[in-house]
Every structure is written in C-alpha cells, then in structure tokens.
Amino acid sequence: MARASKLTPVGAPTRGTTNPNRLRRVDRWIAFSPRTSRLLRAADSPLVVDLGYGASPVTTVELARWLRRVRPDVRVLGLELDPVRVAAALPAASPPSLDFRRGGFELAGTRPVLVRAFNVLRQYAEDEVAGAWGLMLDSMPAEGLLVEGTCDEIGRLSSWVLVARSGPVSLTLSMRLAGLDRPSTVAERLPKALIHRNVPGERVHALLAALDTCWATAAPHQAFGVRSRWLETARLLAARGWPVLGPPSRIRLGELTVPWASVAPA
C-alpha cells in the first residue's frame, strides 16, 4: 500500500480524463531522448514521479513500462490529489517499482530525478506556471528534470517543455502525421506557458507559421510518404534559421524540438 505523506498536497484537482496510450509520445521521448535517458542511466536509484495521472492509473503503468527499457530498476510513483483516484489505482501497484500516493506539486516529500506532469497546468493561469515549475524542481535534486505539457484526448497532438533547475530548456511538438492538415493544428495543445502566446509578435506564433509554410512547400514529398514530407519540412525550417534539435530518427516520428529561447514569450 502507498505510504502516506505528512505534507499537505499542493494544487487543484484535474478533470481526470485519461486513455490508454494517450501519453505514448512523451513516454517514448523521455525514454530515448539523450538528456532524459542519460539522467535515468546515471541515477543511483532513479525515482520518477507521474503527477496528476487522472481517474485511471493506465498512463502511469505505461510510463513505467517505457522507462524499464532504459533502467529495469526504475521506480515510478503516481501522485494524485484525489484520494479516491489513489485508492482506485492501488490494485495496479507493484511496490517498490510502481506505486501510487496522494500528492501534488510538493511531490509528497519525495526527491525524484524526473517528473512528468501532463495535462495538469491547463487549468491554471499563465502567471502561475513558473511557481508550479519551481515548487516541483525545488523538491528534486540539482540535476532533476521536469517534463510538463499537454495533449489531446487520444494522444495525436502533443507538446511539452523540458525544464531544469536553471529554467526551461526546450519545447517539443509531437503529432500524428497521418491525416495531418497543417502542423499549426498543435497550437491548441501548447503548454500553458505558451498557449496564449500564439499571436503575432510572439516567437511561438512565428515558429508555427514557419512550420505551416515549410509543410506546404514540402508537399511534393508526400509522394514518398508523409514521413518524407515531415523530414523535408524540418529541413526547410532549419534552412530558415530555426535551431531544430535532434536527429532525423526522432524527427521522423512526428517530433520537432527547438531550444526554449527560440519560442520563449517576448
């Protein structure tokens, strides 16, 4: 059974909406992107917190499966403010590798090396985001990382920010390429720190506009498949001066990562 925390949980309850495979895009990224995978491999005893997993523990269970590919001894802890949700999740627990507990931004007094907080901050005001990031990172070791973002209900559109103690590091956009009309569709699922910044004069708006233009220019590559078109889109974007991060092997998955400085609010 999950150990109770003496700390008062900090935060507001989420809607609790969840679905199997909803977070597969960010799970895959956490498991195999260089900085997060190095962090997990280097940790003496890696603890990862999944904050606000919702009415079902399914996405926490899936996260644990992905991370075991990197560290078989990883420990994953799901935290929820609602004790009813914690009780519903406990049958899926297998301590110490997978457990569930009541907690919020204070992380229930634990010191994880990595936190995934998805679809948690959407209900907060933009000016509350930095405080929530700071509260979580203050509970982590100096090298700890936070992955905070949002996605649609079935995980086809997703975006997230990688945050370190020194501040935001990068923004990743990830989308299902099949049937994609234009990349800027992901705007509706930008992280809270950026979702209200998709207006002329802001860097993230310029990025999405450039992506749409490059996507349209790359249309002839659709004859070789949608992934070929997306790779050409990323190449054209980089040629325009945007600092696209990551190898083609990650980009072809429908991902695009840029440094935070290139999209930070003006």
Please give the structure tokens belonging to residue 36.
């997060």
Mean pLDDT of 227-249: 96
pTM strictly above 0.75 = yes
Residue 173 and residue 183 in contact, taking contact as beta carbons nearer than 8 Å = yes
What local confidence, expressed as pLDDT, does residue 3 receive? 41
Above 90 in pLDDT, residue 6?
Answer: no
Is the pLDDT score of 139 beyond 60?
yes
Kindly state the average pLDDT of the residues 211-217: 98
Q: In percent, how much of the chain has pLDDT > 70?
A: 97
Query: Residue 57 in contact with residue 36, Cβ under 8 Å?
Result: no
The share of the chain scoring above pLDDT 90, in percent, equals 91
**What is the mean predicted confidence (pLDDT) over 120-133?**
95
Mean pLDDT of the 203-228 span? 98
- 1 band by pLDDT with thresholds 50, 70 and 90: very low
Please answer whether residues 67 and 80 qualify as being in contact, where contact means their C-beta atoms are separated by less than 8 angstroms.
no
Output the pLDDT for position 9.
82
Averaged pLDDT, 225-245: 98
pLDDT of residue 4: 42
What pLDDT is recorded for position 7? 76
- As a whole number, the mean pLDDT across the chain is 95
Average pLDDT over every residue of 135-150 = 97
Q: In whole angstroms, what is the distance from residue 32 CA to residue 58 CA?
A: 21
Q: Give the other-Cβ count within 10 Å of 175's Cβ.
A: 24
By the 8 A CB rule, do 99 and 93 touch? yes
The CB density around residue 166, as the number of other CB atoms within 10 Å, is 8
Across residues 171-195, what is the average pLDDT?
Answer: 97
At 51-103, the pLDDT tens digits run 999 999 999 999 999 999 999 999 999 999 999 999 999 999 999 999 999 99
